[in-house]
Structure 1
Amino acid sequence: MAVISLIAVGLTQNKTLPENVKYGIVLDAGSSHTSLYIYKWPAEKENDTGVVRQITECKLRGPGISRYAQKLSEIDIYLTACMIRATQVVPKSQHQETPVYLGATAGMRLLRIENEQLADKVLAAVARSLSNYHFDFQGARIITGQEEGAYGWITINYLLGKFTQKLSWLNLKPNEDSALETYGALDLGGASTQITFVPPNKKIESPSNALHFRLYGRDYSVYTHSFLCYGKDQALRQKLAKDIQQFQIQGTGNYQQCRQSILQLFNTSYCPYSHCSFNGIFLPPLHGDFGAFSAYYYVMEFLNFTSEETPSQEKMTETMEKFCSQPWEELKTSFGDVKEKYLSEYCFSGAYILSLLLSGYHFTADSWKNIHFMGKIQSSNVGWTLGYMLNLTNMIPAEQPLSTPLSHSTYVFLMVLFSLILVAVAIVGLFIFHKPSYFWKDMV
């Protein structure tokens, strides 16, 4: 009976209980569009890593919210479809306790630089609209480029499990020297681009580019920088502005010529630090693996560079030269399901990504293979939104939990092992009890 009880306890200890979950909603208000993400996690495991997962993504129809500066009355309609979708996904009983956050990025940063009052009016209109729903609206704000880079870095490493170690029952205490090395984050949007990673020597010469985190009992000194107007859409505008000699620009389909034109966007003629990216911005030596997401991934996916290991620079250049040289009518026939606006920009976008990574951030043939183009990790979109929500809901603890529960399989194994030991002891005990003379004879 004791054995049966032990095994039963082991099997039922981690039995799935009735679902008790929480939800969170984040709207990513980018320069070209807005997306809504709904996250879900077990309520009793708020401080454990790897339990938050994305369950829904909804893309709002229309441009980024900065484009509504002159038509504020249309913001309600703009938000309606995806917010109604959120009310359907999140159980009605949990609407009032489900937080909703809206973070605006580089498109709104640019609007704020141009007209701060108008930017405030856009955010106020968005806030009024979101407050009409029965969720726990937590505010709409413009996040800084540094925050965007940091939250993207947190998202990648959180989803990859880089902040914590899974402890085995044979080694219940993690080795401080065996910490998993984090990934760097490469984010490319429409109006800005961010690079974030932990430098090998932890030395960051520019204080404005330094972030310090303590996550799960470990300290991280992180380098990050956001280049405003170097997202793919704004970079195209910069390039066209430099190219304009007449009022009409005629594409030639020459990839190398396009790339040479793009390189003029990166001023590498001066550097006030020991090492720079471009425009005099400090950049430590690149280190480790990097996850490249957002527009990096979308463009590379279109060019079929995401289905296997990162292709060589030579192969990517060869593909770009072939793609860019195709006649427009031929491209439209080959990619009839792609919107012409996007199709017309893939030549530039691909050339820009290669130029930014190679000439802007100085990836080399050796470090290039460490770039991984990522769309999703474990069904969650890679981007800054998950890191943003984790930070605002305090779900990333500063210290490692005092005790880490054993996995279900390990727990069952131990219970069975101890049960077998109990059986063996019981058998020996019974044998001694029924034949004590046998043992006394041996002793004599």
Structure 2
Amino acid sequence: MPPPVANDPWLVNRHFGIVIDAGSSGSRVQIYSWKDPSFFTDLSTAFSHTLPKVEKGTRLGDDWSTKVEPGISTFARNPEDIGSYLRPLLGHARDKIPPSLHSSTPIFLLATAGMRLLPPDQQAVILEETCSFLVHHSDFKIDEPSEVGPCGSSVLIITGEEEGLFGWIAVNYLMDGFSGQRTTYGFLDMGGASTQIAFEPGKDQELDAKNLIEVRLRLLDGEEIRHKVFVTTWLGYGTNQARERYVGKAINEFEELRSGEADVLFDPCLPKDLELVETPTYTGYADEHMKKAHRLIGTGSFEQCMRKTSPLLNKNTPCPDVPCLMNGVHVPTIDFSVSHFIGVSEYWYSSEHVFGLGGAYDFVQYERAASAFCAREWSDIVRENEETVKQRLAGEGVEVNKWGIEVEISRLQMQCFKAAWVANVLHEGIGMPRIVDAGGNTTTDGDEVSEKAKAKGLGWTLGKMVLEASKEVPPAHPTIPPLGDITIPDDFPIKPIRPWSLHDLEDRITPHLPSALHRESLGFSPVLLVLFTLLLFIAVFIVYPLRRQVRRFFLRGLRRVAKPDPNSYALEEGNFLNGSGIMSRPPSPTSGPKKWLRPVQSTTRFESQTLPPFQAYSF
């Protein structure tokens, strides 16, 4: 669908924003839009005491978003291919937004868990290439370079905590959690590499709630709302990373009890009789068998899969700051009788795409559906998938709970494992009771958020755009400072992810120096001054022994620039030849190098004794 034309009423006073969610398995561009808050003048209505209305960036259809695979982190060794990778996403955004609005439309590429797993040098290269491509191939609004990154805040790797905060904003925006009439909703997100939780602790939990982050938003009437949110992330606890850890652990246990030559082990987390060949991603094992591919054959037991994956939660890790959940990470006590949580990404996919149970979560139904699916013969699942896809493509009626054509074979292969992992994280990891009430957790409002999400596009990227739209609201009073990005406190244990720079070194050393030697006291950084001085001495130390070769190099370059006229000479015989090959007198001083080069030449002239006894030079 082409972008709206200039006289389209829908376009009047409309602003756009673009977010590229660069995840671990793929990157998705999402286009949002909202009416310019500064044109909202009727502050007497109840509508004025709300946040700007952020919606999909296309008026009709679902072409506000598109995705490419694999994840951008896979280009660490060939960053020159990032342009080709991003070109379809950028082209999609250009096609959907009127060209006259490109320069005022901010674009953000925010990378998540896949990029967090890379070393800083590879992170920096990918960010630099991404920034360069977006700057040179679009007219969208991009931040200038800063200490934050090569494109400022426009191209970043965000922490799991930032991702969780954006998701928390999105959920409460959709569910009117900012109306002040009810408690805010908690947010759960699980991707391929990490999982996040974000919620606002109740008043009785604030005492054991440490490291809260303040979220500031501005309503259309200029009033600010503030919430203190707890957020944390578990890197390596997404479904793909959990599967890799599970396979490594299973193969290790198999090798310790090995009783034959065949590298075959039985896996309860795969549908019955499904065979896969997998190799542990961790190659640091001393045993050569651990580095080999093994054949996994599914036995299809959801109950056994739950037991096998439970130890991966690392619930026994020491807890230095009680209370803790998984892997010794502090999380304030959650009262699930009053706190409502919305789960997105894998929490939704594992429930809805195959089981058809998206919405209000009921563990009894979920367990029943998962057990039945895991126990099925793999050949039967493949056959049903092919028939279902054919029926849907032909427009024929299909059972309500049957999966759709968007469900790929890879999802069906991992559905048993992912379903077990999600259930373990929810109940064993986070501590959610398996049954909250007799109605089967019907108070989670999952159906309501599902319907609203379809209209506006639920995800943490929506939260980012709500924050951007809120920044545009004029403050109620000119003295009120403008809204900025969510800031991580200095004493917060998790810092924003930024590729290493000299400023990181300064930040590490400065606390160990007396206050009189800090940048604030001197007006400059003594750490960087000492570092640059040290680098200068090192450069001199390396170059000094090579000074003669350096002088020759520059002399030859100058002689090439200042070539004499055609009367050239040959040193071999001491004879000077003119252009016709006839011997002539040596050139006079005026026929040598140009006048402006004489001072330079005099400073670079070689001493006669430094020349070897005989050597032919060609200048």
When the two structures are superposed, what TM-score results if normalisation uses the length of structure 1? Answer: 0.77
Residue 206 of structure 2 corresponds to: 203
Q: CA RMSD in A?
A: 2.6
152 and 199 in structure 1: CA distance in 2 versus 1, 3 angstrom threshold: same
- Tell me which residue corresponds to 2:423: 354
Instruction: State the distance in 2 between where 1:272 and 1:133 align.
Output: 49
Work out which of the two has the higher radius of gyration on C-alpha atoms and give 1 or 2: 2
1:268 aligned partner, one-letter code? K
Q: How far has the Cα of 1:128 moved from its partner?
A: 1.4
Deviates more, 1:372-381 or 1:261-270: 372-381
- 8 Å Cα contact 1:50/1:158 also seen in 2: no
- Is residue 2:31 matched to residue 1:33? no
Retained in 1: the 8 A contact 2:360–2:444? no
Q: Secondary structure at the match of 2:436?
A: helix
Deviation at 1:399, TM superposition (A): 7.6
Match of 2:175 among 152, 157, 160: 160
For 1:46 and 1:181, locate their aligned partners in 2 and report how far apart those are by CA, in whole Å.
Answer: 31
Secondary structure at 1:203's aligned position in 2? helix
Aligned equivalent of 2:411: 342
CA distance 1:339–1:229, change in 2 (3 Å): same
Query: Is 1:302 aligned to residue 353 of structure 2?
Result: yes
Question: Tell me, what secondary structure is at the counterpart of 2:124?
Answer: helix
Name the residue aligned to 2:71.
64
Secondary structure, counterpart of 2:171 in structure 1? helix
User: Which residue type is aligned with residue 290 of structure 1?
Assistant: F
Q: CA deviation at 1:98?
A: 0.6
Confirm or deny: 8 A CA contact 1:390 1:396 kept in the other structure.
no
Quick check: 1:253 aligned with 2:300? Answer: yes
Aligned pairs (5 A) from 1:3-152: 19-44=12-37, 49-55=51-57, 56-111=63-118, 115-131=119-135, 132-138=137-143, 139-152=154-167
Residue 256 to residue 69, structure 1, CA distance change in 2 (3 Å): same
Of all paired residues, the percent bearing the same amino acid is: 30
Amino acid at match of 1:326: R
Q: CA deviation at 1:289?
A: 1.0
Q: Distance in 1 between matches of 2:100 and 2:159?
A: 34
Q: 1:33 to 1:204 in 2, by over 3 A?
A: farther
Q: Give the secondary structure class of the aligned counterpart of 1:300.
A: helix
Contact 1:60 1:79 in 2 (8 A): no
CA shift, 1:329, in A, is 1.1
Unaligned runs of 5+ in 1: 1-15, 165-177, 403-444
TM-score (norm 2): 0.56
Residue 380 of structure 1, aligned match among 456, 472, 490: 456
Determine which of 318, 322, 329 is the counterpart of 1:281: 329
The superposition leaves residues 396-419 of structure 1 with CA deviations (integer Å, 9 ceiling, x where unpaired) of: 8698899xxxxxxxxxxxxxxxxx
Go from structure 1 to structure 2 and tell me whether the alpha carbon gap of 1:400 and 1:71 turns closer, same or farther (over 3 Å shift): same
Q: 1:320 aligns with which of 346, 363, 370?
A: 370
| Post-superposition CA distance 1:137-186 (Å, at most 9, x none) | 2421100111111111011112222213xxxxxxxxxxxxx633111000
> Structure 1: how far apart are the matches of 2:64 and 2:241?
25
Tell me how far apart the structure 2 counterparts of residues 134 and 17 of structure 1 sit (CA, whole Å).
23
**TM-superposition CA deviations, 1:105-152 (whole Å, max 9, x none):** 0100011xxx21111111111111111111112421100111111111
The Cα shift of 1:206 comes to 6.0
AA in 1 matched with 2:348: Y
Is 2:201–2:230's contact at 8 Å kept on the other side of the alignment?
yes
Is 2:76–2:123's contact at 8 Å kept on the other side of the alignment?
yes
Alpha-carbon spacing, 1:319–1:285, altered in 2? closer, same or farther (3 Å): same
Structure 2: distance between partners of 1:355 and 1:290 = 16
**CA shift at 1:214, angstroms?**
3.9
